[in-house]
Every structure is written in C-alpha cells, then in structure tokens.
Structure 1
Amino acid sequence: MIDYYEVNYDLMCSFYPLSRKVYDKLFAIAELKEIKAGTKLVSIGEVSRKLFLINKGVLRSYLMMENGKEITKTLFTPIEFFASFTSMLTNTPSEFTYETLTDCHIYEINYEAFVELCNTNTEVLKFYSRYLEFLFIEGESAFIAISSMNAKQRYLKLKERIPNIENLIPQYQIASYLNITPVQLSRIRSKLY
C-alpha cells in the first residue's frame, strides 16, 4: 500500500523543503475523498474555491466549444496538484471543467484556508511561490510541444508520461487531449504497433 502522506510530502519538498510541522498544518486542511469516474469537481461557469491533489486515478480539464466539441486541455495523474487557478485567483467563473475519468483518490484543500496559511507561514508561501513558477514553466513547455510536435510525437510523449493510458481512458478522450480525431489516433497507433 502506498503511503500517500510520505509521497505527498516528498512532492511538496521537491518544490520547497517544508518542515514536518508545516507539512502537518497543510495536511490538516486537506480532506481525502474517494471520487467515482465521471464526477465533475469544477464545472464551466462555476467559481472554484478548492485546490486538489490527485493520489490515484486520472482526470482531465476540458473546454466545451460552441459546437459541442470537447477539447481536453490537461490530463492529471498521481501525484499532481491541480485547480482552476484563474478562477480561484480572480474569483471569476471557470472556463474549464475538471472531471474524473477513472475512480480517484483526491485531496481537497480549501483555498481560503490555504491562503491563510500562506499569510501566516513563510514556508507555505515559499512553497506556493515555487509551485506557481513550476506551473508557468510547464505551461510554456506544453505550448512549445503543441506548437512544434506532430500528432505522433505528442502521442509518444503522452505514452512516455502515462504508459498504460489506453487501459485507463477511452480513445476519444486521448484523441481530444492530442487535438486530433479518434480516426487519426487509430492510424498513428496502427503504424506504431
């Protein structure tokens, strides 16, 4: 059995070395939930008030186009933080839906309680600052990958990150993430395998 308390501590310390005392304060404001596949944690138009940390499962953030087409922005896997950051930071409705694709174990963290810790504890504030820097760098990397890689290269990069992705989520959701059609994904897979 995975000790998520330790795994999550290691993740957070990879951004900034937190003391156990401070980590325990963060852990105290987090609530572990078992969430079924297909659950929307944040919906388009909803103001987000929570940070999340996925410990088990796969979920996605997606945008709904006017024609009804869903475009998957991000796939989240263990162990990652996620949130509708723009919605939380600006107190505006989310442009994205965050939905579980498999059964998940997710920690929910009340954003206001987290901000309160940031205001009273420099370790938490430094961790948060480093994490936001990480998100900025990841965002640029994702833009470069989408702009410079072809569909096959994007698929191989996804397989490198999540080797068993085909066993976890439907093909159309993988195709949506890669910004290709399911038919294109089938062609790529048939050429590779």
Structure 2
Amino acid sequence: MNFDPLLKYINNYIDLTDDEIAFLKSKLIIRKYLKGQYIVQQGDICKYECFVLKGCTKTFYVDKEGQEHILMFSIEDWWTSDMGSFITQTPADFNVQCLENSELVMFSYDIIEDLYREIPKLERFFRQIIERAFVASQKRIVRSFSLSAKEQYLYFRDQYPLIEQRIPQYMIASYLGITKEFLSKIKSQLILEQ
C-alpha cells in the first residue's frame, strides 16, 4: 500500500522518525470506493477521517425539501469527512460521496486516539489541520456575505482550477449557492468580457 502522499503531506507539518512512520503505517488502512459510493451519510456516525490519495468527493447537506447544498469538494492530498460527527461520535449532519472512483487513507476514531498516545506530535499535526479547516470555513462564510456570485465564482475558479475541470457545473452552482442557470449566465458574461 502506498502511503507516500500522506507521509509527504504530514512532513509539511512535523518530522516523524522511521519508527514512528512504521507505527503509523501499521495502524492505517487504504480503502477504495466507486464513483457514487458514500463514505458517510446524514444521520450515521462518521467513523473515519479520510485523506484522499486518489479521486474526488463532495460533502453536502440535503434539506427537508430534498435540495442538495454542497459545502466542499476534496481531491488528492485533501481531507474529507463530517468532522463534527467524527469528533463527537454523534449522527452526521452531512453526506460525503465519491464523485470519482476514489482511494482513501482511513483514520478511525480509536486509531487516531492510539496515534496521539504513541506519537504525541501527531496530535499537534491534526490540531493544525483542523485549525486550517476552521479558518477556511470562516473565510468562505465571509466571502458568501461580501462577494457577488460572479466574484465568488471567480474566486472558486482561481483557487480550485483542478476541481472545476472534474465536476459538473450544477455542483459548482450548488457550492456557490446559486442556480446552474445563473452560473451559466455568469460564465457567458465572462466570455463576453474577454
């Protein structure tokens, strides 16, 4: 099993000894999912924090009217799960579904606790990841209040060019909180402005 992308990612934050790497590898599993499969569903307890080795996922909420609201996408070298459910081990508010055939490193709740005990610096690593995710979430909320739909789309396109090529336009519209028709109008307008 190839854990190299995960180890390279961790190495951006902390240094692990050979023994620590061996222990970490002994605790991890890699799981493959098919396009359309769920990693977690609303109402279930999220059992894993996942690092994406290959593929693309979406995290979304389905409201009482059956409308889908996309919170985030995850591609290679990103994390995915329902973090609130995972941390509290309570029912998930969100679904995480594979948009492509995907390969994930799975961290169970118990395994993460074992890793914290055996390799304390991993607790600092995961804290830093969660802090970054929290800051990104807050900035996204501010952008949704302060930027026009067009500005939000331009930001998305500039920040996540690899994602835009891999997902349908209606999902980008859902992520931006607009209709697919409005997104088409924005894109047409941008073409005219070039």
TM-score, length of structure 1 as denominator length: 0.90
2:76 to 75, 78, 81: 78
Aligned to 1:89: 87
| Greater displacement, 24-33 / 178-187 | 24-33
SS in 1 for 2:16: coil
Write out per-residue CA displacement over residues 144-184 of structure 1, whole angstroms, 9 at most, x where no aligned residue.
22222221222122222332545422211111011100001
User: How far off its partner does 1:17 sit?
Assistant: 2.9
Aligned to 1:33: 31
CA distance in 1, matches of 2:137, 2:14: 20
CA distance in 2, matches of 1:138, 1:17: 25
Alignment of 1:39-188 (within 5 A): 39-188=37-186
The amino acid across from 2:91 in the alignment is P
Q: 1:31 to 1:150 in 2, by over 3 A?
A: same
The amino acid across from 2:101 in the alignment is D
SS in 2 for 1:15: coil
CA contact (8 A) 1:175 1:182 kept: yes
CA contact (8 A) 1:47 1:88 kept: yes
CA distance in 1, matches of 2:143, 2:2: 31
User: How far off its partner does 1:50 sit?
Assistant: 0.7
SS in 2 for 1:184: helix
CA distance in 2, matches of 1:98, 1:92: 16
The amino acid across from 1:54 in the alignment is V
Aligned-CA RMSD value: 1.9
CA distance in 2, matches of 1:148, 1:18: 41
Q: How many residues align?
A: 191
Structure 1: unaligned runs, 5 residues or longer? none
CA contact (8 A) 1:26 1:114 kept: no
SS in 1 for 2:156: helix
CA distance in 1, matches of 2:152, 2:120: 39
Q: 1:150 to 1:24 in 2, by over 3 A?
A: farther
1:18 to 16, 19, 28: 16
SS in 2 for 1:27: helix
User: How far off its partner does 1:99 sit?
Assistant: 0.5
SS in 1 for 2:161: coil
